[in-house]
């Protein structure tokens, strides 16, 4: 397994996935590094029966859960204090941030697997096939679960706008 090629190809995907579940860029970066370290150590155990990205995200998820257990805290409501300069006006950024936080609050109240499937698809940018593989389910299961999560979010948004 070519470590450098693996790192270059999948670093961004694993980092985005960890950002989506941790909502902490520095933690995501640290855990991404640790993910690749563990992957290299366990490369002989990779059977190849799933996509490498799915395997890496599973390692990342386990590292994140271990981190949360060690911290003995729940991190679902952490809000990063900084944001990248995107050229968006302050008003637009605040509006987008408020909308995003509103959706994150709805997600926070959802139950698994809908919450995690939605996060993997939207924030982790994984395909339905990869999500299905991660859960040991089919691509169709991932599609249906994502669709249900999306409908739950839309319904919650409509109820709050009344």
1-12 pLDDT, tens digit each? 566 787 888 888
Instruction: Compute the distance between CA of residue 42 and CA of residue 8 in angstroms, rounded to an integer.
Output: 18
pLDDT tens digits for 18-31? 888 888 888 889 99
pLDDT tens digits for 58-108? 888 888 888 887 776 444 444 344 444 444 444 454 456 666 777 778 888
For residues 42 and 84, is the Cβ–Cβ distance under 8 A?
Answer: no
3 state SS of 34 = helix
What is the separation of C-alpha 16 from the centre of its chain, rounded to a whole number of angstroms? 6
Q: What are the chain's domains?
A: 1-76 (1.10.1740.10), 92-162 (1.10.10.10)
The shares of helix, strand and coil residues in the chain, as percent rounded to the nearest 5, are 75, 0, 25
DSSP-assigned letter for residue 43: G
Q: Torsion-angle region of residue 138: left (phi > 0), alpha (psi -120 to 50) or beta?
A: beta
Instruction: Compute the distance between CA of residue 90 and CA of residue 96 in angstroms, rounded to an integer.
Output: 10
List Cβ neighbours of 126 (8 Å cut-off, separation of 6 or more): 13, 17, 53, 54, 57, 120, 134
pLDDT tens digits for 136-162? 989 899 999 988 888 888 888 778 776
- For residue 82, which phi and psi values (nearest 5 degrees)? -120, 160
Residue 38: Cβ within 10 Å count = 15
CA distance readout (Å), 85 to 42, 89, 120, 131, 160: 38, 10, 25, 31, 30
Pairwise pLDDT comparison (91 vs 123), residue with the higher score: 123
């Amino acid at each position: 397994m070519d470590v450098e090629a693996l790192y270059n190809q999948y670093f961004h995907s694993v980092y985005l996935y960890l950002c989506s579940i941790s909502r902490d860029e520095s933690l995501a970066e640290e855990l991404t590094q640790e993910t690749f370290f563990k992957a290299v150590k366990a490369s002989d155990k990779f059977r190849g029966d799933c996509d490498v990205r799915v395997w890496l995200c599973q390692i990342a998820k386990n590292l994140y859960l271990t981190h949360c257990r060690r911290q003995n805290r729940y991190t679902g409501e952490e809000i990063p204090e900084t944001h990248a300069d995107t050229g968006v006006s302050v008003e637009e950024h605040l509006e987008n941030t408020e909308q995003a936080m509103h959706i994150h609050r709805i997600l926070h109240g959802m139950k698994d697997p809908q919450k995690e499937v939605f996060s993997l698809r939207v924030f982790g940018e994984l395909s339905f096939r990869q999500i299905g593989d991660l859960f040991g389910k089919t691509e169709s299961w991932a599609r249906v679960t994502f669709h249900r999560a999306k409908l739950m979010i839309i319904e919650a948004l409509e109820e709050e706008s009344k």
